[in-house]
Amino acid sequence: MDLGVVVLMDVDREDCLDLKRYLLSLKPRPSNTKFRIAVEELESWFLADRDAIRRAFPRARLDRIPNGPPDQVIGAWECLARVLRMDPAKVTGVEKTEWAQAIAPHLDLDNPPSPSLRAFIEGLRRMLETPTV
């Protein structure tokens, strides 16, 4: 059985193309390695899908999500904290994990509004459809 490796990283404030070039330059690595980048932060995927947030957290303040292109919210996790009526200064990794567990099952994976989530899903599909040699 051939296995693949998927590396998912938050790009934060780095240039995503520079980061991708760097990752691709790393050797040695398994031949079937795919690098995918969550532009800005993984929480950008959640902010882009307002319906998923609403379904997971019916009392969320969706009006606190800035209008604009998905994946362009600077400080995405802090923004998501405010949407979920939390003080970002008091948020730990535990809360972030709970957000992911609650919101992720509701994400629209067929037509994701986040371009970086769409690229991640398309990369996984290609990886699963393409036999490795």
- Centre a 10 Å sphere on the Cβ of residue 12 and count the other Cβ atoms it contains: 15
Domain count of the fold of the chain: 1
d(CA 49, CA 28): 37
Show the domain range for 87.
Answer: 5-129
User: 132 pLDDT exceeds 60?
Assistant: no
- Predicted structure pTM score: 0.82
The mean per-residue pLDDT over the stretch 59-84 comes to 95
Q: Report angle CA 53, 56, 60 to the nearest 5 degrees.
A: 55
> What pLDDT is attached to residue 49?
98
The mean per-residue pLDDT over the stretch 38-56 comes to 93
d(CA 107, CA 8): 17
pLDDT in tens, 82-107: 999 999 999 999 999 999 999 999 99
From the list 117, 78, 84, the residue with the least C-alpha distance to 98 is 84
User: 129 pLDDT exceeds 80?
Assistant: yes
